[in-house]
Every structure is written in structure tokens, then in C-alpha cells.
Structure 1
Amino acid sequence: MIDKLEYFIALARERHFARAAEELGISQPTLSAAIRQLEEQLGVMLVIRGSRFQGLTPEGQRVLEWARRIVGDARTMREEMRTARKGLSGHIRLAAIPTTLSMVPRLTAPFQEKHPDVTFSVFSTNSLQILSLLENLEIDAGLTYLENEPLGRVTSVPLYAERYCLITSKGGPFADQAEVTWKQAGDLRLCLLTADMQNRRIINRHFAEAGVDVKPTLESNSMIVIISHVRTGRWCSIMPRNVAKSFGFPEEISIVSLVEPEPHHSIGLVATHREPFTPLVSALLHEARNLAEKGVD
């Protein structure tokens, strides 16, 4: 039953039998047969079928909720038993919004030092995708915003407040000033994160508060791409101060405080709320709380 529920979760996520089968590493006939067997066991139709996958039935949507819960609990049980035998080991899948990537080592390095048998995969994505990945059991935790947009049923550990500044090249606009207003920054040639990123939606909102309809001339979902364009001297950008400092180019860029307004937004670690947590997630949340107590610059 557990295997069939995992197959069903993959199908609901991919919304395509062939893609789901490929992800699971099985044949499409094997997947189709497993879903039909699950339907027979439960006595309801789960999938709307036609020439292709057309969605889940109302019963299928409800079974999907149960499947996520049951599969999550089964994984927790297996992990607890492995920990009882071998100590804490395994693999943590962590997703992070681009503006948090520079601080990920502040979490993973001390964790791995304490638990050397644990490995990590770190993915860069947007805040909405992090919630979707958590819901579908594709990641164990995420680093994202804790406010502004609904998080759903998650456990969160606040880590730091994100504050914004203008990033400009040495000799560029406002490079010799201590601060600049959002309205002034709106007149510059800007490169910003893409519109699917919550950081960009936040920046747009603060520009709107200053009466500016911002129109960047370059967009990217990569902070490295953005900072590289700032270094050419042809663009400026808006980004969190801690991100700008992490690139370590003091001789090439200036970091100028943004005022009018001076907002800050909470960043933290999130994990799907569950009792009990897996040993890995429990340990990661504990490490995040330790980091929060020490403070994140």
C-alpha cells in the first residue's frame, strides 16, 4: 500500500503518467496497474482518465491528502529506526530562495560537523515552489520569507530580518552617499530578480509605496547574474544588505542604504508541521534555533 501511495503522490505532482513513471524509475504500465490496484483497494476512482491524465476526482484529492500524511509518517518511522540502529544519518533536501543562499552554510556547516553521516542537497527556487515541494514530500525543509504571503501549515524558525539597499558600482549613481530613497532608485537602470520571486514582489510593493512603477531593464532568477551586471557599471540593483556583503567585492561595488521607506522582512527555516518530526528535520530545526540565538548578520 505505501508504495502505491507514493506512486499516486508522484502522479498527482507530475499530472502525467509517463513523466511520473520516469521519475519513479518504473514503467508506465507498472504505474497504471498500481493506480488501478489502489482504486480497487479503496473502492473509489482516483483519477479522471481520457486519452491523457485529466486530473483527480474529488475522492482522489482527499486520498492525496491522506497519502501525503501516511507516506510522511512511514518515512519518519523508517528514519527513526535507522537512527536507533546507526545514529543520525541520511540525506536532507533543503530548498532556499535566492536571497538566502549565501547564509545556507551558516546552517549546514555546523550541522554537518555535529552529524558527519548526514549529507545535503540544496536547491534554489522561489517561495511558492518551496511550499509546493514541502507539501509533495520532495524536500525536507526550506529557507524562505515568513510573512507577506500565506505559508500554510508549517513549523517555522525565524532567523533574521532582510533589509534592503541599493547596489551600485564604484563611481556609479549614489555610490558616494550613505542613503538613497526608493523614489530616487526608481529612476536608475535596474537589474532585479524575476517576477516569480517573492523578493521581487516585495521590492515592487515598496517602490509603489514611493510612487514608482519600476521597470527593470534586466531580470534574472540568479543573484550571481545580477551582481555580475552591477559590476559592469551599467546597472544598479536592489538586494538585501547581507546578500550584497556576501559577494565580497568592496573595491568594485558600493552598498547604499534605502530609505523612505525602510522595511524589513523576516526570513526563516520552514518544515511541514508534523508530530513527530523525522530525526533529521528535528535536528535541523534545533540547529536553526541555535543559529537564531547567536544571531545572523
Structure 2
Amino acid sequence: MQTRLVEYFLALEREGHFARAAARCNVSQPTLSAGIVTLETQLGKRLIRRDRKYGGLTAEGEAILPWARQLVAAAEALGQAAETARGPLRGELRLGAIPAAMPAIGCLVAAMQARHPGLNVSIRASTSRQIERDLAAFELDAGLTYLDFEPPAHALSVPLYVERTMLVSAVDGVVVPDPLDWAGLAILPLCLLHQGMQNRRILDARLAERGLALRPLATADSYVALLGLVQQGRLCSIIPDSHATLLDGLSWARTHAMPQTDEGSRVGVIVSDSAPMGPLAQAVLGVAREMRLPPGFRIS
């Protein structure tokens, strides 16, 4: 069985469209369609429901999907292992990162490329849950995410820093009490990440412990969007303290200390704990263990 045929099958499952899947694989649509028919013939099972267009996977297609992902990932890792046995690590490193960890992604990528200059890096902003799913499906080589609240399953991890939060408002915007307590925080006009983001779920859990709840007037899936809302002056937001350096030089922004708490959230690198571990995952863990982040990141 040719691995390329399995790649066609996986591309079609991801894209849900024959033309897009063919483009993803850099082949013509007839070539992709013929390859999938060949795979079905070899297995003796119909894998794709089709009429005039893609209609999803059959039960047999669904059954082989995790094995197909594992086979392609193993073939890629096999090639990398052979290539790097006597030479530098090359290829594409696929990283997923939660929005809260984006300031650290530059440090990680710089450290990786300093150690392995032949690498290209692809970075995908994602939720913590999606990072777990993509690691399990061999769609990512590593992730940068929270380690403690809803800890990632079936993963090896290296902690990098501890995240705490701060409030940000516009200089001529919302009046924020000083000092700010939890009850005062709960009544501020806020814009926050939506509840699909773990950062928001952590924040909600801490308020719930105190019998309070946040009811934001706007939600988004990125801190850039939240800061754009704050800049207009009518809302304020809660962002990780690691983002403080990104606000340097912004005359419109003012930061405020959050209510007193000793709690922090560890953020780190995770890879799948499957064995054998691929060269890219090994390389990320090795670099993460030796990394020293700049002063803007709390170590404890």
C-alpha cells in the first residue's frame, strides 16, 4: 500500500471537497480520485460516500481514519529519522499555540531555529482542546498550552512559565477602582475571550469560587481583537501579564493590578506521548527544557 494513497484519503477527509483535497496534495482532481479508488480496491472496502460530490466517510472509512493518520505520521517520522541520523534536522515543524501563549512563541521558535537552522515553522493559533485533538490526529508536532487546569491527556510536557493576569483599559476610558477587588471586577464593562478558550474558563472558575460571575459585553477569540475594543474606551479587558511588553509604547493603554491572588497558571510545551517519538517532537522537548525566557515571563 502506497502512503501517498492514504495521504489522498486524509486530505479529502480534512477538506471535504475533491478539488481542495487535490490542491492540498498538489495533484489533479482525477489523480486524487483515482488514488482513492485504488486504495478502496486494495482494502476491498468502500471508504468514501460519493454521488456527484464528496458525501463523507463510510463506516469503513471512519474505522480506518485513526490508523491512516498514524501510518502517514509514522512514514514521515521514519523519513526524518533516516535523514537526521547523520545530518541536521530539516522539514516543517507544526506548532499549535493558545492565544495567551503567543508572546512566548517567538522565543520558542527562535530557540528552535538557532539549534536547528534547517527547520521551517508553521504556527497555528488554536484552543487548548483543539491542540490536544490535533496532536492525537498527528496534525501537530507540538503545542504551547496550559498544563494544570484541564490538563492535557496523553501528552508529555515541559513547563515554561507561570501566567498571571492584568486588567487593561484606555487612558480616557472606563474608570477602574484602585484597589480593584473581585466584586468590583465583576461589575466592570468587560470584553473577554469566549468560553471556548481555556484562559476564560480558568478566569470563570476563579470568580465562581468567590460566588461571582463575569458577564462580558463582548467576546472574541484573540487578544488583538480585545485590545481593539478596549482602545475605543467603553470597555476594559483581562489579559495575561506576559502581554505587558506588547503594550509598551501604546499611549492609550493603561494596565491595572488584578485582585490579590497567589494563583497562577503554568504554560508549557506539550507533545504526544506516543512511542517511538518523532525527531521533531524530541527536538522541541529538548529545546524547551533548556529555554530561558526573558524577564517579562514569570518562572514561578
Map 1:274-285 onto structure 2 (within 5 A).
274-285=274-285
Deviations 1:19-73 (A, max 9, x none): 3223222233322221221121112222233454333333322311211111111
Amino acid at match of 1:286: G
Map 1:46-57 onto structure 2 (within 5 A).
46-57=47-58
Are the counterparts in 2 of residues 7 and 31 from structure 1 also a CA contact under 8 Å?
Answer: yes
Deviations 1:232-272 (A, max 9, x none): 4432111222223443258641231234x654323221222
Q: Compared with structure 1, are the counterparts of its residues 226 and 294 closer, same or farther at alpha carbon in structure 2 (3 Å cutoff)? A: closer
Q: Compared with structure 1, are the counterparts of its residues 6 and 150 closer, same or farther at alpha carbon in structure 2 (3 Å cutoff)? A: farther
Are the counterparts in 2 of residues 102 and 243 from structure 1 also a CA contact under 8 Å?
Answer: yes
Are the counterparts in 1 of residues 168 and 255 from structure 2 also a CA contact under 8 Å?
Answer: yes
Matched residues in 1 for 2:16 and 2:250: separation?
A: 48
Q: Which residue of 2 aligns with 1:162?
A: 163
Q: Structure 2: where are the runs of 5+ without partners?
A: none
Amino acid at match of 1:270: I
Are the counterparts in 2 of residues 182 and 207 from structure 1 also a CA contact under 8 Å?
Answer: yes
Q: Which residue of 2 aligns with 1:134?
A: 135
Matched residues in 2 for 1:228 and 1:193: separation?
A: 13
Deviations 1:85-119 (A, max 9, x none): 53222221212111100011221222222222222
Q: Does 1:270 align with 2:266?
A: no
Are the counterparts in 1 of residues 166 and 255 from structure 2 also a CA contact under 8 Å?
Answer: no
SS of equivalent residue, structure 1 residue 280: helix
SS of equivalent residue, structure 2 residue 184: helix
Q: Which residue of 2 aligns with 1:205?
A: 205
Say which of 165, 171, 174 aligns to 2:176. 174
Q: Structure 1: where are the runs of 5+ without partners?
A: none
Q: Does 1:36 align with 2:37?
A: yes
Map 1:226-241 onto structure 2 (within 5 A).
226-241=226-241
- 1:129 deviates by 2.6
Q: Which residue of 1 aligns with 2:119?
A: 118
- Sequence identity, in percent? 38
**What TM-score results when the alignment is normalised by the length of structure 2?**
0.85
SS of equivalent residue, structure 1 residue 142: strand
Are the counterparts in 2 of residues 183 and 207 from structure 1 also a CA contact under 8 Å?
Answer: no
Are the counterparts in 2 of residues 158 and 292 from structure 1 also a CA contact under 8 Å?
Answer: no
**What TM-score results when the alignment is normalised by the length of structure 1?**
0.86
Structural RMSD (CA)? 2.7
Matched residues in 2 for 1:294 and 1:253: separation?
A: 22
Amino acid at match of 1:173: V
SS of equivalent residue, structure 1 residue 116: coil
Amino acid at match of 2:281: V
Matched residues in 1 for 2:111 and 2:96: separation?
A: 18
Map 1:16-35 onto structure 2 (within 5 A).
16-35=17-36
Deviations 1:262-295 (A, max 9, x none): 5432322122233232222211111111237999
> Which moved further from structure 2: 165-174 or 152-161?
165-174
